[in-house]
Homo-oligomer: A and B are copies of this chain.
Amino acid sequence: MNPELYILGSGSATPTRERNPSAQLLKIGSAKILIDCGEGTQMQLLKYGIRHTGIDYICISHLHGDHYFGLIGLISTMSLMGRQQVLNIIGPPGLKPILDLQILHGGMSLKFDLNFISTNGNHPEDIITTDDFELSTFPLKHRIHCTGFLIKEAPKQRRLLPEVANSYNIPVEAFKDIKAGSDYINEAGEVIANDILTEAAGTPRSYAYCSDTIFDKQIATYFKDVNVLYHESTYMKNLEDRANMYFHSTAEQAATIAQMTNAAQLLIGHFSSRYDNLQPLLDEAKEVFTNTELAVEGSVWWI
């Protein structure tokens, strides 16, 4: 099953009645990864019926509040609900002392470990490889230390072709090794090459998340050909000066990054609270990159 992306918040620095701050949940294989966690994220999970159980990875792009003020509340709720499983938190180095202080003064005694992994704001880094996914970070140009996240499905095993295997009288016990990539050697010592017995699995799906950033062509050196790219679009192009001043991007610029990286689909979000109607932002992006959609609250996307 393809990874699924649930949008929990599409707002920017100040929330509106309709838009919560940034948060997304990615289901990939058996894993759940929360990407950014603005204030109210745990209420958004409740609203959309998504259980926090099984969220073992939380990625925080940077320490502006609209991207992480909901994290301590979620950790608190996980603790009160009896969580014991390690929680991996990938984020800027300043995040750990903030959480530590809140845990200390709140008298919270967590029954699970917080495994902090500090991100690097200067160069790309591979962070975690699991059976389900590979996660890496890349630097974004914002007012403070900020990273994007690139998440790919783990390489898939080749698919066994049972009819071909039967035609070579290969016993079932040998299938596991063949699926893992081995050739088969029969009793006569003949080698039947793996690529005769199997076919390639689909290409692992990939998702890139570009949180707050000024328009930066350097981004196109960090990934190519992702299935879905999320890129912030705080403003429309008539406010490009403002976007530059605050190290944000316009819808047109987000679309340009999608074009440069040859993404299959672009999702835009992190909309300024000045926009009640998002259609003009979508139209602006589509002029440059047709397959663009609005990453609004409650929407779900196949990666």
Contacts and interface: CB of A to CB of B under 8 A. Distances in A.
Contacts of A106: 63-65, 144
Interface bracket on A: 35 or more
B107 A97 contact: no
B43 A20 contact: yes
Contacts of A144: 105-107
Interface stretch (A73-81, A111-119, A163-171): A73-81
Interface string A51-74: 000000000000111100110110
Nearest to A45: B15
A13 interface: yes
B46 A80 contact: no
Contacts of A129: none
Interface string A148-170: 00000000000000000000000
Contact of A105 (B40, B94, B105): B94
Contact of A92 (B81, B97, B105): B105
Nearest to A47: B17
A184 to B, nearest CB: 55
A69 to B, nearest CB: 5
A104 B97 CA distance: 12
A13 to B, nearest CB: 5
A102 interface: yes
Contacts of A95: 105
Contacts of A232: none
Contacts of A69: 39, 69, 72-73, 76
Contacts of A291: none
Interface in A84-121: 92, 94-95, 97-98, 101-102, 104-107
B39 A17 contact: no
